[in-house]
A and B are shown apart, each in its own frame.
Chain A
């Protein structure tokens, strides 16, 4: 019994370690648009961003980021910083930057399901409302 537990723990531990090493797509841009590359460059340039998913639809953009663990203390501040940066770069677009895990998860789901047009628009507006919710 003891031996079994030990091997099991070893297996789980090594699996966790190995899955941590796997290369994930860290910067994703979804949606047809012209400035896709530019956004990626800006987001990649920010050294506090670990992973990012950008969803674009017509003139609205959702930038969902995950901030590096130790910099999460300044999450709200960094979020605002990135928002300002992007607002300056694209004054005509309606941009929302969020470092919330829920928004990031949903953004990845949109990408995975390959949503388009009305459905995508609906989901985006819903997410933007959700991001503004407080307690």
Chain B
């Protein structure tokens, strides 16, 4: 069989992914996660001294904590299978990435296994988050000095 022939056959045989269905699933589940996040931040505002400006940090921490526990139990895997990007894009996906790498390398020991692989997946999130934050701040600083926008 020629290479081109094979490619044609392969394209013919592979089932078409249900894009629209996947998008709808991701939308609904991602929205539900955000709804829970909103509830958590409301909880912090009502019962603790956080304002809308400061409530972000504890909310993010709590959501990551939730998803870490769900990953440990093995439930987040199922959510991920069902919703795809809907469960990976919110911060909860970060907690999942950290813990799933830790579980995967548990057998290699605590230092060389868990310790060195903990941020194998999540490390890029941290790195690019910091770098992009730096550049966004730089751009905003330049715009403010030029007088285009205000802080």
CB-CB under 8 A from A130, the residues of chain B are: 49, 51
Across the two chains, which residue of chain A brings its CB closest to B50? A102
Interchain CA distance A134-B55 in the complex, whole Å = 10
- Asked whether A105 lies within 8 Å of B46 as measured between CB atoms, the reply is yes
- Asked whether A100 lies within 8 Å of B53 as measured between CB atoms, the reply is yes
Interchain CA distance A98-B53 in the complex, whole Å = 11
CB-CB under 8 A from B45, the residues of chain A are: 101-102, 105
- Asked whether B51 lies within 8 Å of A135 as measured between CB atoms, the reply is no
CB-CB under 8 A from A131, the residues of chain B are: 51
Q: Does A133 interact with chain B (Cβ within 8 Å)?
A: yes
CB-CB under 8 A from A135, the residues of chain B are: 53-54, 56-57
- Asked whether B51 lies within 8 Å of A133 as measured between CB atoms, the reply is yes
Give the secondary structure class of B's interface. Answer: loop
Interface residues of A in 83-113 (CB under 8 A from B): 100-103, 105
Interchain CA distance A105-B56 in the complex, whole Å = 18
Q: Total number of A-B contacts with CB less than 8 angstroms?
A: 28
Report A64 CB to chain B, min CB distance, Å: 11
- Asked whether B57 lies within 8 Å of A100 as measured between CB atoms, the reply is no
Interchain CA distance A101-B50 in the complex, whole Å = 10
Interchain CA distance A131-B54 in the complex, whole Å = 10
Q: Does B4 interact with chain A (Cβ within 8 Å)?
A: no
> What 0/1 pattern do residues 45 to 78 of B give for CB contact below 8 A with A?
1100111111111000000000000000000000
- Asked whether A100 lies within 8 Å of B52 as measured between CB atoms, the reply is yes
CB-CB under 8 A from B46, the residues of chain A are: 105
- Asked whether A133 lies within 8 Å of B53 as measured between CB atoms, the reply is yes
Across the two chains, which residue of chain B brings its CB closest to A80? B150
Report A74 CB to chain B, min CB distance, Å: 13
Interchain CA distance A131-B53 in the complex, whole Å = 9
Interchain CA distance A134-B52 in the complex, whole Å = 10
> What 0/1 pattern do residues 63 to 81 of A give for CB contact below 8 A with B?
0000000000000000000
Report B138 CB to chain A, min CB distance, Å: 19
CB-CB under 8 A from B51, the residues of chain A are: 100-103, 130-131, 133
Across the two chains, which residue of chain A brings its CB closest to B46? A105
CB-CB under 8 A from B55, the residues of chain A are: 102
> What 0/1 pattern do residues 115 to 136 of B give for CB contact below 8 A with A?
0000000000000000000000
Binding site for B on A (CB under 8 A): 100-103, 105, 130-131, 133-135
A-B contact pairs, 5 of them (CB 8 A): A100-B52, A100-B53, A102-B50, A134-B54, A135-B54
Binding site for A on B (CB under 8 A): 42, 45-46, 49-57
10 further A-B contacts with Cβ under 8 Å, apart from A101-B45, A101-B52, are A100-B53, A102-B49, A102-B51, A102-B55, A105-B45, A131-B51, A133-B51, A134-B53, A134-B54, A135-B56
